[in-house]
């Protein structure tokens, strides 16, 4: 299904402004077709498994950790360094990082393979630099609109499919809210209804992410650890048809970075939450695109993928019946590899 494990042929840190560094690695055929992997999260970082989707005789594969996470953040793990990172963390800067990496590697044009949040980044990069994109493979389409974020982090979406897991997440939210000294009524709630038994249906995604952002950015180490665990548990609970994996202690930093970066971008970035990506889709309508979408994806429901396939003229949509959101779901893995193997350049 997947290709054998592989190690990078080269890697490095790309220096960016304000002391930011971007980790990148390359492997495969140096004369092969260049393709760049855009990881999810935001903040998840790349993994060794992601190298295994590619025929390394055919492709020159580029993987990179987006700013602020994984190996792009290993040089700046202190609180002050993290504050500097957040000060200069924006969706626009991520797109610029990607273009700087292409230029650094002397690649004229490449293909994009984005998953989940990585599809948001892929679409934005293609819109900004259409001449640099040969084709796209998108998995678990997510365009970071307010309605999509609402689906993930409010009682009105995935919570209705996973009510037990959502109540666990809410319990952590309430505990973090108290630990951070936040009082009063969340936005949109009715004051006399705000108590542990009756507040759930009044919460908005901004309320929940606001508390997690406060906990992850300014909380004590104990509060930060609880917030990171809660974030990771909810994400993993709705990810895969294969069930919920246990969270290893080594995943704490990954969950922390995902929660912090996601909350920062979704709450504060002016490009996200709106319709800007959709308003510019005509710029990339002719770029060949394959969408591979789990039919039972509870993180990024298939409706968004279908809608995108109707807008992009050169798009093929494949709905994988026995799959959720995770690229590790076997049928989704298989479908992604088949597409990559089938591409002719």
Same domain, 262 and 296: no
- Cα dihedral sign for 106, 107, 113, 118? positive
Q: What's the total number of domains in the chain? A: 2
Q: What is the CATH number of the domain that holds 318?
A: 3.40.50.1820
Q: Which of 292, 311, 289, 302 minimizes the C-alpha distance to 126?
A: 289
Same domain, 46 and 104: yes
Q: E strands along 106-168, which residues?
A: 110-115, 133-139
Same domain, 335 and 289: yes
Which residues fall within 8 angstroms of residue 310, CB to CB, at 6 or more apart?
Answer: none
Q: Which of 65, 207, 297, 329 is catalytic?
A: 297
Residue 207 to residues 154, 161, 170, 177, 213, Cα–Cα distance (Å): 9, 21, 11, 10, 10
Same domain, 335 and 229: no
Residue 263, domain extent: 147-268
Omega of the bond leading into 17 within 30 degrees of 0 (cis): no
Confirm whether 297 is a catalytic residue: yes
Same domain, 278 and 263: no
Same domain, 248 and 321: no
Q: How many whole angstroms separate alpha carbon 191 and alpha carbon 297? A: 35
Same domain, 138 and 160: no
Same domain, 132 and 210: no
- pLDDT, position 193: 43
**Buried (b) or exposed (e) across 308-339, using 16+ Cβ within 10 A?**
bbeebeebebbbbeebbbbbebebbbebbbeb
Tokens found for residue 17: 């402004």
Q: How many whole angstroms separate alpha carbon 118 and alpha carbon 168? A: 27
Same domain, 302 and 211: no
Confirm whether 116 is a catalytic residue: yes
* Residue 1 falls inside a structural domain: no
- pLDDT, position 113: 98
Q: What is the per-residue pLDDT across 108-145, written as a single tens digit (0 to 9) for each?
A: 999 999 999 999 999 999 999 999 999 999 999 999 99
* Residue 4 falls inside a structural domain: no
* Residue 263 falls inside a structural domain: yes
Q: Which of 264, 325, 327, 329 is catalytic?
A: 325
Q: What is the per-residue pLDDT across 231-283, written as a single tens digit (0 to 9) for each?
A: 999 999 999 887 766 555 557 889 999 999 999 999 999 889 888 899 999 99
pLDDT classification of 29: cutoffs 50, 70, 90: very high
Q: Which of 72, 90, 111, 116 is catalytic?
A: 116
The DSSP letter of residue 171 is H
List the strands of the sheet with 21-28, edge to edge.
10-15, 21-28, 59-64, 33-38, 110-115, 133-139, 289-294, 315-320
* Residue 315 falls inside a structural domain: yes
Same domain, 132 and 15: yes
């Amino acid at each position: 299904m997947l290709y054998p494990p592989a190690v990078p042929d080269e890697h490095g840190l790309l220096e960016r402004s304000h002391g930011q560094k971007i980790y990148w690695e390359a492997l495969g055929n140096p004369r092969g077709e260049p393709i760049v992997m855009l990881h999810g999260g935001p903040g998840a970082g790349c993994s060794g498994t992601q190298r295994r989707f590619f025929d390394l005789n055919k492709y020159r594969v580029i993987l990179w950790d987006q700013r602020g996470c994984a190996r792009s953040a290993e040089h700046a793990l202190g609180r002050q360094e993290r504050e500097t990172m957040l000060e200069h963390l924006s969706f626009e800067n991520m797109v610029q990082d990607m273009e700087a990496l292409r230029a650094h590697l002397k690649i004229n044009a490449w293909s994009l393979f984005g998953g989940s949040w990585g599809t948001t980044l892929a679409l934005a990069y293609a819109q900004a630099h259409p001449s640099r994109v040969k084709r796209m493979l998108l998995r678990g389409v997510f365009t970071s609109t307010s309605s999509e974020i609402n689906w993930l982090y409010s009682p009105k979406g995935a919570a209705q499919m996973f009510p037990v897991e959502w109540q666990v997440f809410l319990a952590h939210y309430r505990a973090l809210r108290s630990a951070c000294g936040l009082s009063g009524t969340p936005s949109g709630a009715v004051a006399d209804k705000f108590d542990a038994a009756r507040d759930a249906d009044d919460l908005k995604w901004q309320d929940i992410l606001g508390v997690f952002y406060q906990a992850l950015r300014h909380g004590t180490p104990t509060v930060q650890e609880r917030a990171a665990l809660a974030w990771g548990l909810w994400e993993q609970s709705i990810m895969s048809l294969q069930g919920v994996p246990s969270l290893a202690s080594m995943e704490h930093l990954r969950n922390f970075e995902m929660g912090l970066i996601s909350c920062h971008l979704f709450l504060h970035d002016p490009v996200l939450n709106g319709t800007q990506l959709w308003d510019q889709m005509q710029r990339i309508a002719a770029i060949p695109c394959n969408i591979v979408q789990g039919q039972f994806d509870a993180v990024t429901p298939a409706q968004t993928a279908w809608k995108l396939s109707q807008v992009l003229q050169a798009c093929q949509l494949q709905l994988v019946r026995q799959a959720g959101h995770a690229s590790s779901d076997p049928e989704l893995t298989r479908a992604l590899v088949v597409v990559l193997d089938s591409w002719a350049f």
